[in-house]
Structure 1
Amino acid sequence: MNLARLDRTLFFAATSGVLLAAAFPRPNLFWLAWVALVPLLLVMRRRPFAAGFTAGGVFFAIVLYWLNFVMITYGGLSFPFAVLAYLFLVVYLASYIGLATWLSSRLEVTFKLPFLLTLPFIWVALEYLRGVMFTGFPWALIGYSQQDFSLAIQSCDVTGVYGVSFILIVVNCAVAGMIAAPKSRLAWLGAVVALGISISHFGYGFWRESQPLDEQTDHLRVSLIQGNIDQMQKWDPEYRQTSIDIYHDLSLLALENRPELVIWPEAATPFYLQDRSQFATQVRKLPPKLNAFLLVGSPAYEQLAADNYRYFNSAYLFSPSGLEMGRSDKRHLVPFGEYVPLGDLLGFVDKLVVGVGDFSSGQVRSLPLDGHALGVLICYEAIFPQLARDYIRNGSDLLVNLTNDAWFGRTSAPYQLLAMTRFRAIENRVWIARAANTGVSALIAPSGNVVISGPIFEALELTGSVGLGAGETFYTRFGDLFAYICIGISAVFLFALLLAKKWQKFPLVCRERSLL
């Protein structure tokens, strides 16, 4: 391929997208994230928005490739429509990175501010906004790439995942500055600033790592039941008894490990557990056999009128005597998966999930467990930091993530979702028990380390001990304060640009010489 015939700016931008994608599961080369954006930073001056958009487009296209599998295999979409929906999402997400690089370049041209002083704040601000706008989709924030670099992610109990994203952008900017102008005092100053931030960041991580793994005084034996129920059979009425038998037998198998809490995954019962059917009765009779609490994912409903119902994606907790202790409903639903946004206008759009009607959103409702409380995050609720924080502030001593990752098949998506879930443990310094239908089931320590996990697409039970109680972290108390600060600083940047008289003179395509 003749590089001279290509747009060099977009070529190097695309290279950054590939490198950044490789930092995520899988292949999970997390160290690449520290330099992945350097090619983009060296060339984006010439085409600020297009360069960032290209890098983001390549990145999200690679990381979210599995969406095509979900939409075609389980959503029933034809290949062309699935690809169209996939590309629409990629374009939307890439626009955030394009906007970040455009604003940072604009600030450099207008006020001579180096990228190091602007891009980290703008990047974090836009990552946060991506996680809340249009119901939010904070999948694959750059900070999540560091899931296996423990020293780099311990600061999440102060800044959340956004602090990790911030330092990654700082380091990338400093490296790019040194490559572009190795003799520049400004470049060396940037390197010193990046080094100072890194030392404090990793120093905090080292200190946290030196603390005891488990500071809780109360512990609980937990068994995770991974039924490995095929998604194509899951909602088949003829397969209900087989599903119950699988979970029943695996739960009894866990008895030799003497669990105090047995956890089944999301929608483990393909029927309404609240109905007094023969299937529901079998489930309710199990806790006395186990002499343990039983947490079960199940659909639920509430009757509002004769022919008017509300449906929920829920979890029920039963005591060792079989008494129902409470129900927790999923709060953050999957757009077009569990409900259709703007249903009156988009009623013609079918949901991508094979389930029961449109689900309704629930409320924060911790479940009582022998003097303690469980906070239940269902499926991809685990990627929303605020939801986990709400449960901890509501008194939860243990977070439980029930999920059905069968939708993803043997793609990288189950590992990406597990990676993001680990950050919820660090942010609140709390244990997380994760039960997944097809995996990855795991116990996650307050340090974010996966203490025990199993393979995907195997029926199994995993038993281990977890601590009860959450740490009093800065993040739990103040939430995404760091992200808000970044938003505030970015707003100041934007306001300054709006006041600058040169605003109309800055084209989308700058004519300045790129550095590569």
Structure 2
Amino acid sequence: MSRARRAAWLAGFALVFFLSFPHPIGGRVLDLGLFASWLAPALLLLGLRGLAPRPAAGAAFAAGLAAHAALYHWIYVATVSYGHAPTPVGVGAAIALALYPAAFFAAFGAGASALRRTRLASPFALAALWLALEHARTVFATGFPWGLLGYAQHDNTALLAWAPLAGVWAPGFAVALGSAALAALWEARTSGRGARGALLAIASVAAAIGAGALDLARDGAQPAETVRVAVLQGNVDQDVKWSPEWAERTLAGYEALSRRAGEAGAAVIVWPETAVPGSPDHDAVLADRLAALARETNAALVVGAVGVEPVREGGVRYYDSAFVVSPDGVFADRYDKTHLVPFGEYVPFRDFLGRFVSAIARGAATTDVSPGAVPRALAIPLPDGSALTAGVPICYELLFPDGVRRFTKDGAELLLAITNDAWYGRTGAPYQFLVMTAMRSAENRVWTARAANTGVSAMIDDRGRVRMQTDLFVQDLLVADIPRRPAPVGGSFYARHGDWLPGACWIALGGLAIAARWRRGARA
């Protein structure tokens, strides 16, 4: 294959992969993932044909870097517009972040080449390799699983029917399998090999989609018992969010939205992540206002704010927290975010890197946020005296399926997701993040009420379908009667058993490695 032709295949992969996730263009959201994602791995595999493992790793690394640097364009907005870093730093940040997934693409390129050389590169083996490496991205070095292939199928409710069984990994494996089969069929035109395995893979994907559609058709009626939940979108710009001059205006805005929600009969009113510029833990005036507001609206408040705890020697520890205020004005509980954003909420190896980060990003925090203990469900008091068991994942935590499942494993009936996406501006990130939140609903078979400071706020059903949503950068609220579906003990199968499918893929790949070694030994 000529260099130009190989480059065309790889460039096609980068473009199609980028288009597999939603992006706002011309006032509308372009979302082609339902179709484009089936082509992405195929284009990459066709671009790697004939390469030995080392050059295949290099080619896949370059393609993965280009695709993800484009996908992570929102990092520029976060670092330059709001982090006040110089423009070159913003460009470099997007490229630097893309190096992380690109490394796993390099491993995929090398692995795919090695499998092809042993003639074990069936579509099933390649899909297992793709999924295993995607899973590694969620755990290695704290993980960053933005842009997993399964998210591109968020509108494919038939494939999402498998999410309660195996999480986002189920649609991801199906797409990787179908795409690898397309690549195999293309190669079979000239080689004459692999067509049978490719057709078997396509038949398997079709069967999975058909079974998912049947499961949707059998979906029973929603339970009669509901809880009325409101999510608030204060639309506070990131540049003024922590400004003392805006503190009163911000709080008054959320109080007004809460009163509207109370008038609509909401039993639970959810504020976004760090909605108020302060902490009820050490600001008695703020705590009193929140308590009075809960009593006035006769609703439980779930408020994103800074948690503060004293430590020895007169210091304090800060948390990204969600406070629960009961309808009678009592602070009932507090959940602290457990999975923090590197370089956003804390600086790894701060003693070594802290000065460097502060020098290039003037808006960087000088104090690290502390992580909470474990994801856990909260008992939220309701006006009728009962309690709603809910998980409150905070922003970055929503990227991690294994973390969010622990809320429902702990008994959560629904998720109250809170986030601040103002950092992303009018990029594709708020819409891509919404898709990830919807996948968490599908995986755990629970509804999610999502409160985002500047949007997109949403109500998402237990199949991962967005039923209501706001526009970006408007002040708004949503109110919905959410079914109280008591989850099975410990939640869905995925909530109880976690990432078993990627684990099975790793085991299968280990078996293939043993088989390849045995073949070489037999030939010798």
Q: Same fold (TM over 0.5)?
A: yes
Q: Which of 44, 62, 75 in structure 2 is aligned with 1:40? A: 44
Native 8 Å contact 2:120 2:512 kept in 1: no
- d(CA) in 2 for partners of 1:306, 1:213: 58
1:151 alignment counterpart: 158
- Taking the aligned partners of 2:223 and 2:244, their CA distance within structure 1 comes to 44
Post-superposition shift, 1:113? 1.7
Report matched runs for 1:432-511 at 5 Å: 432-468=448-484, 469-471=486-488, 472-494=491-513
Indicate if the aligned counterparts of 1:311 and 1:356 stay in contact, CA closer than 8 A. no
Identity %: 34
Q: Distance in 1 between matches of 2:508 and 2:366?
A: 45
Alignment gaps of 5+ in structure 2? 24-29, 381-385
Match of 2:425 in 1: 409
* Equivalent position SS for 1:347: helix
Q: 1:174 pairs with 169, 181, 202, which one?
A: 181
Distance in 2, Cα, partners of 1:197 & 1:473: 24
CA RMSD for the aligned pairs?
A: 2.2
Structure 2 residue 4 is the aligned partner of structure 1 residue 7: yes
Aligned position for 2:255: 248
Partner of 1:382: 398
For 2:204, the equivalent position in structure 1 comes to: 197
Secondary structure of the equivalent of 2:37? helix
Choose 335-344 or 289-298, whichever is displaced more.
335-344
- Matched to 2:38, the amino acid is W
Report deviation, 1:171.
1.1
Q: Determine if contact 2:13/2:44 at 8 Å carries over to the other structure.
A: yes
String of CA shifts for 1:459-480, please: whole Å, max 9, x gaps: 0111011122335422122111
| 8 Å Cα contact 1:214/1:467 also seen in 2 | no
C-alpha distance in 2, partners of 1:216/1:357?
Answer: 46
Contact 2:181 2:202 in 1 (8 A): no
Deviation at 1:217, TM superposition (A): 4.5
Amino acid aligned to 1:41: L
Check the 8 A contact 1:130/1:137 in 2, yes or no: yes
Specify every segment of 5 or more residues in structure 1 that has no aligned partner in the other structure, as ranges: 503-516
Q: 2:470 is matched by which residue type in structure 1?
A: G
Measure the CA separation in 1 of the matches of 2:168 and 2:452: 23
Cα distance, 1:212–1:29 mapped onto 2, change above 3 Å: same
- Is this contact kept in 1: 2:75–2:93, CA < 8 A? no
Matched, 1:368 2:384: no
Cα distance between partner residues in 1 of 2:226 and 2:407: 19
Alpha-carbon distance in structure 1 between the residues aligned to 2:477 and 2:44? 46
Looking at structure 2, the residues matched to 445 and 83 of structure 1 have their Cα atoms a distance apart, in angstroms, of 37
Aligned to 1:68: 76
The letter of the residue matching 2:73 is Y
Alpha-carbon distance in 2 for matches of 1:239, 1:117: 56
TM-score, scaled to structure 1: 0.91
Per-residue deviation, 1:252: 1.1
Cα–Cα, structure 1 residues 321 and 191, in superposed 2: closer, same or farther, change >3 Å? same
Q: Who is 2:415 aligned against?
A: 399
Residues 340 and 494 (structure 1), Cα distance of their counterparts in 2 relative to 1, 3 Å cut: farther
How many Å apart are 1:284 and its aligned residue? 1.9
- Structure number with greater CO (CA < 8 Å, separation at least 6) is 1
Structure 2-normalised TM-score?
Answer: 0.90
Quote how far apart the aligned CAs of 1:151 are: 1.4
Q: State the AA in 1 paired with 2:506.
A: I
Deviation at 1:374, TM superposition (A): 1.5
The alpha carbon displacement at 1:79 in A equals 1.6
Q: Which one is further off, 118-127 or 208-217?
A: 208-217
Q: Is the 8 A contact 1:105 1:115 kept in 2?
A: no
1:301 is matched with which residue: 308, 323, 334? 308
The separation in 1 between residues aligned to 2:176 and 2:500, in whole angstroms, is 19
**Aligned counterparts, 1:217-296, within 5 A:** 217-296=224-303
Stretch deviating more after TM superposition (426-435 or 352-361): 352-361
Structure 2 partner of 1:97: 105
